Amino acid sequence: MTAAEENYKDYKKAETRALEILSEMRKASPKTVDIELALLVAIFELHKGTVPPATTARIVQGHLETLVPFYSGESGNSAPT
């Protein structure tokens, strides 16, 4: 397995777990905004002490710019799952 394939495999494991956690969060609160904010806090906590908060915000923005085309059908590809 190549390094890229191994990285993708690791990503897919993390993505699968994140979607499981999302399912659990929906049981904890029916409010979408509660879940959104909690997930964003988790991202800031992930980067806490390693990069400034403004850098974390730019990282999130970069990921959003990558994902929006997949979810809006603009890329011609299916959304990453």
Smallest CA-to-CA distance from 59 within 73, 46, 70 is with 46
Sequence spans of domains, the chain:
3-72
Cβ 55 vs Cβ 35: under 8 Å: no
What is 3-31 written as a DSSP string? Answer: HHHHHHHHHHHHHHHHHHHHHHHHHH-S-
pLDDT tens, residue by residue, 5-25? 999 999 999 999 999 999 999
Per-residue pLDDT band for 75 (boundaries 50, 70, 90) equals low
Between 63 and 79, the higher pLDDT residue? 63
What tens digit of pLDDT does each residue of 39-65 get? 999 999 999 999 999 999 999 999 999
Give the helix, strand, coil percentages of the chain, each rounded to 5. Answer: 75, 0, 25
The pLDDT of residue 76: 54
Q: pTM here?
A: 0.78
